Amino acid sequence: MPGPREAVLKKGLLTLAVVVVYALHQDVWFWRTARPLVFGFLPIGLAYHAGYSILAGLLMWLLVTHAWPHRLEEEAEKRGEPRPR
Amino acid sequence: MIPAAIVFAYLAGVVYIGVFAFRQARGKEEVEDYFLANRSLGPFVFLMSLFGTNMTAFAILGSSGHAFNNGIVTYGLMASSSAVVIPLTLLLVGTRVWALGKTHGFITPVQLFRDRWETSHIGTVIFAVQAALLVPYIIIGVMGGGTTLEAVSGGLVPFWLGGAVVALVVMTYVFFGGMRGTAWVNTLQTVLFLAFGTIAFVVIGAGMGGFRSSAEAMLSSPLSYLMTRERISPSYFFSYTFIPLSSIAFPHITIFCLTARKMGQFRKTVVLYPLCIMALWLPCVFMGVMANRANDVPRIQEKIEARRALATQGQSLPRAQRDELRAKMEADDVLLLLLQRYAPAWLAGLLGAGIMAAVMASDSQILALSTMFTEDVFAHYEGKSRFGEAAQVHMGRAFVIGLTIVAYVAALRAPQSIFSLAIQYAFTGFAALSPLLVAALFWRSSTKWGALATTVWVAAAVIAVAVFQAMVTAPPPGPPIVVAKVAGLDLLARTPGGTAVLGFMPVVPMVLVSALVMFVVSALTPKPSEGTIARYFPARPAAGGRA
């Protein structure tokens, strides 16, 4: 179980990872060019964003592994059936 | 005829699933069973159905149509931004909504808002705005159904009849199957359109003589700009990253979060969601762009001609003629035209069924509106206590019929393309409503007055955009019409595709102002009771414990 300092550091790093991935969406560097054609047919701008989707999947794996709301899950599972409204 | 026959067989199968789900319920007339499948969905159905619910006609027909006219930018605008924002909101917001639903028995987001902020009528206002914004999204499904059946049958089934058939099929399985039937149908549909999207990509690629040669030919043609983003401004591109905030705020997605059996089912959904987006959107967008090289498909050539005429002579043409050219260049049927040209009849039918599957994803919205009406209005205003739970389910089913008829009539009258209609009203409006959920779940000091002010702001802003666009005619492709300037900057402009505020789409200022309104009004008004706040924000264990 991480100490308070490690927990804050982990939270900070994960937040930074989210911000960096969000910023990478704005890929101005491939704005005006179609070449190289990846696999001979995919314009680079499109291939970049396909790769970006895979990166988003990796980011989500990281978040699910290291920032899963365990406490919320345990509390909800513990309470079992919802109380009638 | 063969493709149409296969599509009709598919539609019959879908109806059967709805009836089968009805039988599985064994005649139970229980609210949680009909509207939430008894909170019992497993991981596979949860992922596939949630993804299918988000991917409507807009995703498959709208994306290829938009890519046909605007190029590869379509993927970055909607797909890759959704790939990061939607799973993130599912992880942060969806899991909390699920936990609160589990512990408090919520079925709709308005129930959560009413309880969280200790309010009644403000919840009704939120319901009204959500319902008004959701209806256009349902209309998209009917329009997509009409377009698809018309194209698959080669014009044999007219738009009005195709829309009617799709509306009837969706209404039937939602009516009988409720959430369970809808989730099963969505799962089947998602599997179909993911699989057939890949097959379509291979078949159309081979039919066009290989995508490599088509891509090279495209790059040496005047249409090479479609392979880059040179005609799109970076601020417009950035604006689109705000649109996927709408996903979690759409009531059908919030409600769907409550159907998972365990919170753990969000794990795979969150991780695999971006990959599912890529699997569906990449082929659709690429084929949409490549359709510009389909020189042997006359109806596609007509669209290209209309686009060229609008771009070169648009400034000098009268408004009626410009509108006529815009209608001609609408390309929501471009994928179907490619299939008809390059796939054998039986395969075109199967692929048409796959596309049909995507088009029919409006079922969840219909069910959600029915759920909201019966829970947030009928049950809240004593209907359930007076007439009983069975009457509530009957009321929900009657609402499904009424809503489908309204959506069908509206679809016959709606002139705009699937894509723009969805983006301009439903997506923008729900994105701007997302601060409501965030404030309810994460900010102790948020208040009902903040929620009311935010909701009223969103409604007013959506109406203002609609009125502005009706009053100021869209210019032809090229520079926008600047209506207001401040300090040398274009404050408000009418663009060929919509409206720009300081160069951004309206969704950007709308979301930011929503958050600001929520913050300022909540800070100035009394908070809910300590007891309520303590239920939503229980004391945390000492730091170092698990998150």
Q: What is the pLDDT of residues B415-438, one digit of tens each?
A: 655 545 555 678 899 999 999 999
Query: Residue B158 — pLDDT band, cuts 50, 70, 90?
Result: confident
Q: Is the pLDDT of residue B278 over 90?
A: yes
Q: Mean pLDDT highest for which of B177-191, B294-308, B336-350? A: B294-308
Q: Which of B229, B272, B374, B392 to mutate to test the interface with A (most CBs of A within 10 A)?
A: B229
Model confidence pLDDT, tens digit, residues B475-500: 877 788 999 998 888 899 998 878 99
Q: What is the mean pLDDT of residues B255-268?
A: 92
- Alpha-carbon torsion, ordered B466, B467, B473, B479, to 10 deg: -60
Please check whether residue B458 is in contact with residue B430, taking contact to mean a CB–CB distance below 8 angstroms.
Answer: no
Q: Tell which wins on pLDDT, B466 or B227.
A: B227
Question: How many inter-chain contacts (A to B, CB under 8 Å) are there?
Answer: 167
Task: Give the pLDDT confidence of B312-333 residue by residue, as tens digits.
Answer: 887 778 878 888 888 888 887 8
Residue B108 token pair: 């709709």
pLDDT of residue A63 exceeding 70, the answer is yes
Q: What is the mean pLDDT of residues B13-41?
A: 77
Dist. CA B200–CA B75, nearest whole Å:
18
Q: Which of B14-23, B177-186, B220-229, B503-512 has the lowest mean pLDDT?
A: B14-23
In a domain, A53, yes or no: yes
- Of the ranges B41-45, B57-61, B123-127, which is most confident? B123-127
Best probe of the B interface among A41, A55, A59, A62, by most B CBs < 10 A, is A41
Q: Is the peptide bond before A36 cis (omega within 30 degrees of 0)?
A: yes
Count of CB atoms situated within 10 Å of the CB of B398: 14
Residue among A21, A64, A72 whose CB faces B270 most closely: A64
Cα dihedral B242, B245, B247, B250 sign: negative
Mean pLDDT of chain B: 86
- pLDDT of residue B280 exceeding 50: yes
- HSE value, Cβ hemisphere, 13 Å, CA-based, for B160: 3
Region A43-65 average pLDDT: 97
Mutation target among B74, B95, B228 for the A interface, most CBs of A within 10 A: B228
pLDDT at res. B276: 92
Highest mean pLDDT among B19-23, B108-112, B379-383: B108-112
pLDDT for the residue numbered B545: 43
Pairing of strands B498-501, B481-486: unpaired
pTM, rounded to two decimals? 0.90
Contacts of A65 in chain B (CB under 8 A): none
The answer to whether position A10 is within a domain reads no
Q: Within an 8 Å CB–CB cutoff, is residue B271 touching chain A? A: yes
**Does any domain span residue A82?**
no
Residues of A in contact with B104 (CB under 8 A): 82-83, 85
Chain A touched by B91 (CB under 8 Å):
yes
Q: Tell me the average pLDDT across B131-156.
A: 79
**Pairwise CA distance, residues B120 & B122, whole Å:** 6
Its domain, for residue A56, covers 17-70
State residue B451's pLDDT score.
97
Q: Answer yes or no: is A77 within a domain.
A: no
Task: Kindly tell me if the per-residue pLDDT of B167 is higher than 50.
Answer: yes
Out of A18, A31, A72, name the one closest to residue B228 (CB): A31
Q: Which two tokens stand for residue A2?
A: 């991480």
Q: Which of B215, B540, B544 has the CB atom closest to A4's CB atom?
A: B544
Q: SS3 of B490, please?
A: strand
Mean pLDDT calculated for residue range B185-203: 83
* pLDDT at residue B547, as a whole number: 38
Predicted local confidence at residue B29, as pLDDT? 62
Mean pLDDT of A23-48: 93
Rounded-to-integer distance, Cα B149 and Cα B360, Å: 12
| Cβ contacts of A54 on chain B, cutoff 8 Å | 274-275, 278
Q: Is the pLDDT of residue B175 over 90?
A: no
Q: What is the mean pLDDT of residues B64-74?
A: 92
Say if residue B392's pLDDT is above 90: no
- pLDDT at residue B345, rounded to an integer: 77
pLDDT, residue B444, reads 94
Domains and CATH numbers, chain B: 2-223+250-411 (1.20.1730.10)
CA B299 – CA B341 distance, rounded (Å): 11
As for how many domains chain A has, the answer is 1
Most confident of A19-23, B368-372, B468-472: A19-23
| Residue B298, CB-side half-sphere exposure with 13 Å CA sphere | 0
The conformation of residue B318, written as its DSSP 8-state character, comes to: -
pLDDT at position B544? 45
